[in-house]
A and B are shown apart, each in its own frame.
Chain A
Amino acid sequence: METKNEDLFLQSLDGSVTPEQKEMLTHELAGDFHLRKSADQFLRIREKLKRSEPDSFGPFFAERIINKIKNLKQEVDYQIFFFFKKYQVAVIGVVVALLVLNIIFSDNLSIRSVLGFEDQPKEDTVAINLYQDLIN
């Protein structure tokens, strides 16, 4: 019974009670010493728990947060930079490898052959003389 009344008392503090419940609680509190004592102890605990002054993490807390955010931003920038850098290095590596392969497998060492354009031997070129053709 006492627990039930205790619950009702706590409910009156944290929720809502009907007028009938309120009347019953007032009646019980007036007649029951143990309930009154218990209610008083609950109220003391609640009073002690209530924050009396605003808490703080100490001076310059906001500055520390801002610095942390700036550092995080920098870290992200570095990550993005190195993410692309990785691909740049890979592309350059492939290009160099292709150039080396071309140098190894081409017959001569001209810039054209290194870049993959085959040098046309002079004897293979066909002279086209349109003017001559028209005369003939």
Chain B
Amino acid sequence: MAIESDQELVQNTLTGDLSAFKTLVNRHEGKVAGVVRSMLGQTAEAEDVGQEVFIRFYESLGKFRGDSAVSTYLTRIAINLSLNELKRRKRRFSLFASDDEATHVKAKDETHDLNEMLDMEFKRLEPEFRTVATLRLVEGYSTEETAEILNLPMGTVMSRLARAQKKLKEGLSKYLET
């Protein structure tokens, strides 16, 4: 049986074929999970956001013209919903900001390996830096694709990427020496 293209699956879904949509979900779950988990971490909200990404995609299928690839479209939704979740989280925990800082300091004092510290420092990046770093450095999109997904000029993406990497290097200096 020939493998159906994303566009064909979208068309079939529009005619009411939910199994076609299920194939689309299975095909793109990895990408969406990668983006959402990188933005939000391994949290319970990450799966909720992941589900919301596909529900939003399903609801907007009628408007999907196929100008961009399904994966790019889904990544864009995943980034936007993750940013919304980060804003919500910030509002929710604004009262406990000092706790977060304390956790970070404590973590630095304890023995952690580079992977754990990198994870921690990555989460400390401001959302605009985390977004470009997720797409370019974690998911492996090219700088041009990252700019297209985020609808940002290339120069902005490049400068944010450079700043994100410098911040990470600065935070990990102790661990990178070894």
Residue contact A54 to B34, C-beta cutoff 8 Å: yes
Residue contact B30 to A48, C-beta cutoff 8 Å: no
Contacts of A45 in B (CB 8 A): 118, 165, 168-169, 172, 176
Q: How far is the CA of A51 from the CA of B37 in the complex (A)?
A: 11
With contacts defined as CB atoms under 8 Å apart, how many contacts are there between chain A and chain B in the complex?
Answer: 95
Residue contact B162 to A62, C-beta cutoff 8 Å: no
- B33 nearest in chain A by CB position: A55
Interface size on A, residues (CB 8 A): 31
- A72 nearest in chain B by CB position: B55
What is the CB-to-nearest-CB distance from B79 to chain A, in angstroms, rounded to a whole number?
Answer: 15
A44 within 8 A of B: yes
Choose from B47, B118, B133, B165 the contact partner of A42 (Cβ within 8 Å).
B165
Choose from B21, B47, B137, B176 the contact partner of A41 (Cβ within 8 Å).
B176
B129 within 8 A of A: no
B51 within 8 A of A: yes
Residue contact B50 to A6, C-beta cutoff 8 Å: no
Q: How far is the CA of A61 from the CA of B48 in the complex (A)?
A: 11
Residue contact B29 to A49, C-beta cutoff 8 Å: no
DSSP class of B's interface residues: helix, strand, loop or mixed? helix
- Name A50-96 residues within 8 Å CB distance of B: 50-51, 54-58, 61-66, 68-70, 72
Q: Decide yes or no: A62 and B22 within 8 Å by CB, A45-B169, A55-B37 being known contacts.
A: yes
What is the CB-to-nearest-CB distance from B142 to chain A, in angstroms, rounded to a whole number?
Answer: 9
Q: Decide yes or no: A51 and B26 within 8 Å by CB, A65-B51, A69-B21 being known contacts.
A: no
Chain B positions 153 through 168: 1 when the CB is less than 8 Å from some CB of chain A, otherwise 0: 0100110011001101
Contacts of B55 in A (CB 8 A): 65, 68-69, 72
A119 within 8 A of B: no
Chain B positions 21 through 37: 1 when the CB is less than 8 Å from some CB of chain A, otherwise 0: 11001100111011001
A-binding residues in B (CB < 8 A):
18, 21-22, 25-26, 29-31, 33-34, 37, 46-47, 50-51, 54-55, 58, 114-115, 118, 122, 133, 136-140, 143, 154, 157-158, 161-162, 165-166, 168-169, 172, 176
Beyond the given A41-B176, A70-B18, could you list 15 further A-B residue pairs with CB under 8 A, ordered by the A residue number? A6-B166, A14-B136, A14-B143, A41-B169, A44-B176, A45-B172, A50-B138, A55-B34, A56-B30, A57-B33, A57-B51, A61-B25, A62-B22, A65-B55, A65-B58
Q: 24 A-B Cβ contacts within 8 A?
A: A10-B165, A14-B157, A15-B143, A42-B169, A44-B114, A45-B168, A48-B118, A50-B138, A51-B34, A51-B138, A54-B31, A54-B33, A55-B34, A56-B30, A57-B46, A57-B47, A62-B25, A64-B51, A65-B51, A66-B21, A68-B51, A69-B18, A69-B58, A72-B55
